[in-house]
Structure 1
Amino acid sequence: MIALRTLDPRHDPEPAGWEHLRTAGRQCVTWRYDLLKAYAWGAQAPVLLTVLHDGGTAVGAVSASLRGIRPRRGSYARGRDVAGVVDVHAPGNRSQKGWWFAGDLEPERRRELLRRYVRGIREELGPSWRGVVWREVSPGEPAQLPGLVKAALPTAPLARLATPWTDMEAWYARLDRARRDSLKRRARTFTADAGLSIAVGPARELVTGAEAAALRAENDLKHRARLFPQAPLPLPYLDALVGGDEVVAIAYRDGSRLIGLSLILDHPDWPICLSWGALPPESGGRKHLYFDGYVRMVEWAIASGKTGLVLGKGQAEIKRSLGADLVPSSALAVPF
């Protein structure tokens, strides 16, 4: 028998066995419940987490934002609107899906669990909520999602770089000569820069939440939507994120000043490059740190024996030039 438990992470306590379920589902740290809570308090729309149970056992989860009819411009959510759509997406990043399962469930059982989720969330919200939007839908997945009428909108592709090599030269050999030479030259230049330190390791040892927030803001402001800008992730979220055991940082410092930072969500196989931020050269940064960050990421992934890196969305052609595959992605709107 299928059962659902729907939670508001802002107010509801962590469900029993949640961390075991997250681990069994091989989900990154952004699904840890304290981070879900911090994310929900800083979101622009109310967040609901639904735990899927099959035969009395928790087997998966769905996270969704309730996008109401009243847009909130750069502000945090207060309560639910009277109507809107259910936006299924991963909390805190665009490189994961908002639904997942633990174990080897058969495809038909997965479809039935998601059908029951849709029915349950409609009952939870009422008839004025008009449908579900599933984000980060990969090729072949629309048939797995419930609904008779589906409208797909292509979105930015997801870049994934496999790292099956034992050394960096094997990666460099895949790149065109101009890209390879520029990456090597810049890496040598930064390594030889006496005023610059480059450290790769557990984020909690290399950076504070406040430093991460400041550099994320540098990058976010360049890409922020003007009409409906996203509210920044709150400092308590970033404190919890970098203070744990599952985030890796690549930190560039000029003396004690942090001038560049990449945060990676660790994973046994496919770590996710969560964010990049850097000071512009006119504010004390260095040119081309962005490209050097990829060199350090790949170097870390190879040394750590990872299957590959999820490089995320945006800058698709640059990531392709670094050897990444671009996986098509879409948003799928399904009316109730």
Structure 2
Amino acid sequence: MSLTLQILDPRHDPEPADWEELRGAARQCVTWRYDLLRAYAWAAQAPLLLTVLRQAGTAIGAVSVSLRGFRPHRGAYAGRRDFAGILDVHAPANRSQKGWWFAGDPAPEQRRELLRGCLRGLRRELGAGWRGTVWREVSPGEPELLPGRVRVTLPTAPLARLATPWRGVGDWYALLDRARRDSLRRRAKKFAADPSLSIQVGPARDLVSGAEAAELRAENDLKHRSRLFPLAPLPLPYLDALVGGDEVVAISYRDDGRLIGLSLILDHPDWPICLSWGARLPEDGGRKHLYFDGYVRMVEWATASGKTGLVLGKGQAEAKSALGADLVPSAALAVPL
């Protein structure tokens, strides 16, 4: 069956009529909502293209690509396309997902052919100077599902996943070593007994504003600015739309009304994704050890909600492993044409 491509610039092109149907069929989280893709694209450091793959007119998958040109640009956003560069395949605003997905589960050879056809179409659109591709967040066993024979593999931070097949947080505590279990319980009780500290878990739209989320995320984002192709800070319009919707859960810590800690979780029927954590430093009115207490609240919420598990994201791998998470190896795969 022939493949057709719908190549979109989310800044300018309207949302496809069947986009939400495709996103739902593929069980993709809220960061793939088209209005959020548009907000991300306007603030990104490189032009973003979204390609919808279709067979017989039916949308079957999508690929998100940033155009990393070879010429340096001044300013945060490079608005024009270069004549040459690299196709950087990644999920916008989310390092815990892949930049390519399908509504179904194509066979390995079919998957390779679909992605190969997508790359060929993008190069026809962009020109012959776009000679290489970088696939990000590639898991073990996936390289053979991607097109291209000559590859350079760069290991990246592992992805932490915590299965939650328990009736409550007590079952999770029982799996941890005694010192870790005791410290988590002690701190949770201490925070719960603090009359000036309010801890709430629920829909983000009820607990936090986009401006508050942006303020706490800003400090956390600075920790990752040295990465190759670092993510641009999420703009306020993006965070306003994100926390104002129906698919994001927040864990908020407030001291006499002032937000001092915040975790944002992208809800999902099975594996919600912990998108971000941000907290004020103790010298700025924050509290020590809120980071670890946040995991207690996440597990409480996930078990009460009947989730299969939590995607805890990247970074702090040793700490997440000590909390029972599995570390899934991840890599960036560079494929020259």
Q: Same fold (TM over 0.5)?
A: yes
Query: Alpha-carbon deviations, 1:102-159, whole Å to 9, x = none?
Result: 0233222222111101111111111111211000000000000001211111000000
The answer on whether the counterparts of 1:73 and 1:230 sit within 8 Å (CA) in structure 2 is no
Q: Distance in 1 between matches of 2:75 and 2:286?
A: 28
- 1:34-113 to structure 2, matched below 5 A, reads 34-72=35-73, 75-113=76-114
Other structure's SS at 1:30 match:
helix
1:282 counterpart residue number: 283
What's the CA shift for 1:231?
Answer: 3.2
Q: Distance in 2 between matches of 1:228 and 1:91?
A: 12
Matching of residue 155 in structure 1 with residue 156 in structure 2 = yes
Q: Which amino acid letter does the alignment assign opposite residue 97 of structure 1? A: K
What's the CA shift for 1:79?
Answer: 1.2
Query: Alpha-carbon deviations, 1:227-281, whole Å to 9, x = none?
Result: 9765311100000000000000000001111000000000000000000000000
The answer on whether the counterparts of 2:224 and 2:230 sit within 8 Å (CA) in structure 1 is no
The answer on whether the counterparts of 1:73 and 1:228 sit within 8 Å (CA) in structure 2 is no
1:164 counterpart residue number: 165
What's the CA shift for 1:226?
Answer: 8.7
What's the CA shift for 1:222?
Answer: 3.5
- When structure 1 is superposed on structure 2, of 197-206 and 64-73 the one drifting more is 64-73
Question: 5+ unaligned residues in a row in structure 1: which ranges?
Answer: none
Q: Which amino acid letter does the alignment assign opposite residue 330 of structure 2? A: S
Q: 1:223 to 1:73 in 2, by over 3 A?
A: farther
Question: Identity across aligned pairs (percent)?
Answer: 78
- When structure 1 is superposed on structure 2, of 72-81 and 210-219 the one drifting more is 72-81
Q: 1:47 to 1:283 in 2, by over 3 A?
A: same
Q: 1:122 to 1:74 in 2, by over 3 A?
A: same
Q: Distance in 2 between matches of 1:69 and 1:209?
A: 34
1:245 counterpart residue number: 246
Moved over 3 A (4+): 71-74, 226-231
- 1:123-142 to structure 2, matched below 5 A, reads 123-142=124-143
Q: Distance in 2 between matches of 1:147 and 1:140?
A: 15
Q: Distance in 2 between matches of 1:178 and 1:232?
A: 36
Query: Alpha-carbon deviations, 1:194-232, whole Å to 9, x = none?
Result: 000000000000000000000001212244329976531
What's the CA shift for 1:74?
Answer: 6.4
Question: 5+ unaligned residues in a row in structure 2: which ranges?
Answer: none
Q: Which amino acid letter does the alignment assign opposite residue 140 of structure 1? A: G
CA RMSD between the two structures:
1.4
Q: Distance in 1 between matches of 2:56 and 2:228?
A: 46
1:296 counterpart residue number: 297
Q: TM-score, normalised by structure 1?
A: 0.97
1:114 counterpart residue number: 115
Q: Distance in 1 between matches of 2:75 and 2:196?
A: 38
Q: Which amino acid letter does the alignment assign opposite residue 258 of structure 1? A: L
Q: 1:189 to 1:238 in 2, by over 3 A?
A: same
Q: 1:110 to 1:223 in 2, by over 3 A?
A: closer
The answer on whether the counterparts of 2:93 and 2:231 sit within 8 Å (CA) in structure 1 is no
Q: Distance in 2 between matches of 1:243 and 1:100?
A: 26
Q: Distance in 2 between matches of 1:187 and 1:226?
A: 33
What's the CA shift for 1:72?
Answer: 4.6
2:196 counterpart residue number: 195
Q: Distance in 1 between matches of 2:72 and 2:248?
A: 33
1:256 counterpart residue number: 257
